[in-house]
Amino acid sequence: MTASTGTEAVRFDPAPSGLRGTLRVPADKALSHRAALFAAMSSGDVRVRNYLDAADTNSTLAAVQALGARVQRGVAPGELVIHGVGLRAPQETAAPIDVGNSGTLMRFLPGWLAVQSGRSWTIDGDASIRRRPVDRVALPLERMGARIEARDGRFPPFTVHGAELRGIEYAMPVASAQVKTCVLIAGMAGAGETTVIEPVPSRDHTERLLARAGAPLRREGLRVTIGPVEQLAFDAIDVPGDPSSAAFLVAAAALVPGSRIVLEDVNANWTRIGFLRIVERMGGAVAGELEAPGAFAGVEPVTAVEVEHASLRGTTVAGEEIPLAIDELPLVALLGCFAEGETVVRDAQELRVKEVDRIEAVVDGLRGLGADIEGTPDGFVVRGTGGLRGGRISSRGDHRIAMLGAVAGLASRDGVEVDGMDAAAVSYPGFTADLATLLTR
């Protein structure tokens, strides 16, 4: 691999030999957002170990500070102490709260702000955020009694007008952990109980953390119910490695002949490791102690993930598997290019409202590198050709498309130039350096 040319375009040459070695991927982004926000909502000091230092999660720290929480860094290496403002006492802000590129932060904050009766906040973000819908959280919050004013009725910037909320039962039209979290947060300060019903399971970090903090939370199948909470109280929160970041290295090792890598301390929560199960089904050599489906422990399970190169066969990913691998579906398309037969992803229309339209970005991007791939309204179909030619791909400012391009380059015949590789800093600032490390061992 040669990392060359300036800050934006980086060229990833075909890997001369396999990826080898052991490393720790960055901390889990989904858990870091929750740790900072829930700590800010609590009344005491919360120690967060291994908080993710990346653009998205730094937006969350800035947002909770704007709302009055204090963030103390450098207490010990990799640790933060967050002094919360309490569930009912966030400060009003003079300027809009800037969520940067983070859709997760944009969907979580309104849940907290909507319960602050008689007060208002405006939320805004970057150009990608301004294209992402907020009606999915506005709808349930308005049913609870809040008022949300959004640009064109559904886009940022938007203003949350807090009110005394009532508990509701909300059947979510799509499985979204972001929406589930928003409604559960609002439910903690509503009158009576609030129940969220998911069509299929989505990541459950919020439920695990809130239950640990003493919130009255019940799970019955696809129903999660929460009751009013006076204050949240946390002991320390430990953030394991992010399985979504690990997935890029897993894919690289699965694709490049001669590879064998070990990724330490990866979150093994069953609602996050759908991709590893898909890779196994495609014939990939993946080992690790993965949590059994349906498990619900207070603490997030961790495992070392070991991956070796293997030849792959096509597969179909659909239905209940989609939310469990939602951020890794672009990588399924890439693996499909190298697999024997057809790889199909369907029921994944949610990909159209991610940082970019990820169906379009993946289909156009991989096709430009020589893939035989077609988009469908809710996914894509890839016919494996045993490899990829290479060429040029634009990240479109999306961190996961940037990293997809890099992995494609290592496994390709001619290499790939990724325009806008700096987008990786949203979740994995050291990605290019980590790849280089695994390639020189």
Closest by CA to 28, choosing from 6, 8, 48, is 48
Taking the least distance from each CB to ligand S3P, the nearer of 13 and 327 is 327
Taking the least distance from each CB to ligand S3P, the nearer of 163 and 348 is 348
Residues 6+ apart with CB under 8 A from 334: 251, 255, 366, 404, 407, 408, 411
**By CB under 6 A, is residue 128 in contact with ligand S3P?**
no
Helices (H), 147-242: 177-188, 205-212
Closest approach of Cβ 177 to ligand S3P, in Å?
3
Rounded to whole angstroms, the Cα distance separating 416 from 369 reads 8
**By CB under 6 A, is residue 178 in contact with ligand S3P?**
yes
Closest approach of Cβ 115 to ligand S3P, in Å?
19
Q: Which stretch binds ligand S3P (CB under 6 A): 110-118, 176-184, 250-258, 406-414?
A: 176-184
Taking the least distance from each CB to ligand S3P, the nearer of 208 and 309 is 208
Q: Using the rule CB under 6 A, which residue among 30, 334, 348, 426 binds ligand S3P? A: 30
Closest by CA to 391, choosing from 312, 337, 326, 329, is 337
Closest approach of Cβ 356 to ligand S3P, in Å?
12
Taking the least distance from each CB to ligand S3P, the nearer of 35 and 411 is 35
Rounded to whole angstroms, the Cα distance separating 403 from 358 reads 13
| Residues 196/180, Cβ–Cβ less than 8 Å | yes
Q: Using CB under 6 A, which residues numbered 66 to 105 contact ligand S3P? A: 104
**By CB under 6 A, is residue 254 in contact with ligand S3P?**
no
Taking the least distance from each CB to ligand S3P, the nearer of 177 and 246 is 177
Q: Using CB under 6 A, which residues numbered 140 to 159 contact ligand S3P? A: none
Taking the least distance from each CB to ligand S3P, the nearer of 11 and 136 is 136
Q: Using the rule CB under 6 A, which residue among 32, 57, 128, 176 binds ligand S3P? A: 176
Q: Using the rule CB under 6 A, which residue among 350, 398, 417, 434 binds ligand S3P? A: 350
**By CB under 6 A, is residue 195 in contact with ligand S3P?**
no
Closest approach of Cβ 357 to ligand S3P, in Å?
13
**By CB under 6 A, is residue 351 in contact with ligand S3P?**
no
| Residues 220/409, Cβ–Cβ less than 8 Å | no
The amino acid occupying position 124 is: D
Q: Using the rule CB under 6 A, which residue among 326, 348, 404, 411 binds ligand S3P? A: 326
In 10 A of CB 192, how many CB atoms? 11
Q: Cα 397 to chain center, whole Å?
A: 16
Q: Which stretch binds ligand S3P (CB under 6 A): 3-11, 174-182, 283-291, 362-370?
A: 174-182
Partners of 121 in the β-ladder: 160
327 is catalytic: yes
The amino acid occupying position 65 is: Q
Q: Using the rule CB under 6 A, which residue among 71, 177, 256, 339 binds ligand S3P? A: 177
Binders of ligand S3P: how many residues, by CB under 6 A?
Answer: 11
Q: DSSP character for 343?
A: E
Q: Give 245-300 as a DSSP string.
A: HHHHHHHHHHHSTT-EEEEEEEE--TTT-HHHHHHHHTT-EEE--PPPTT---SSP
Q: Using the rule CB under 6 A, which residue among 11, 47, 132, 203 binds ligand S3P? A: 203
**By CB under 6 A, is residue 327 in contact with ligand S3P?**
yes
Active-site entry in 13, 204, 327, 422: 327
Rounded to whole angstroms, the Cα distance separating 263 from 247 reads 10
Closest approach of Cβ 42 to ligand S3P, in Å?
19
Closest approach of Cβ 224 to ligand S3P, in Å?
13
In 10 A of CB 440, how many CB atoms? 11
Taking the least distance from each CB to ligand S3P, the nearer of 271 and 432 is 271
Closest by CA to 44, choosing from 233, 236, 238, 237, is 233
In 10 A of CB 122, how many CB atoms? 15
Closest by CA to 67, choosing from 39, 45, 103, 35, is 39
Q: DSSP character for 28?
A: P
Q: Using the rule CB under 6 A, which residue among 202, 269, 315, 394 binds ligand S3P? A: 202
Closest approach of Cβ 33 to ligand S3P, in Å?
6
Half-sphere exposure at residue 280, Cβ-oriented, CA atoms within 13 angstroms: 11
Q: Using CB under 6 A, which residues numbered 261 to 320 contact ligand S3P? A: none
Q: Which residues bind ligand S3P (CB under 6 A)?
A: 30, 104, 176-178, 181, 202-203, 326-327, 350
Give the active site residues.
327
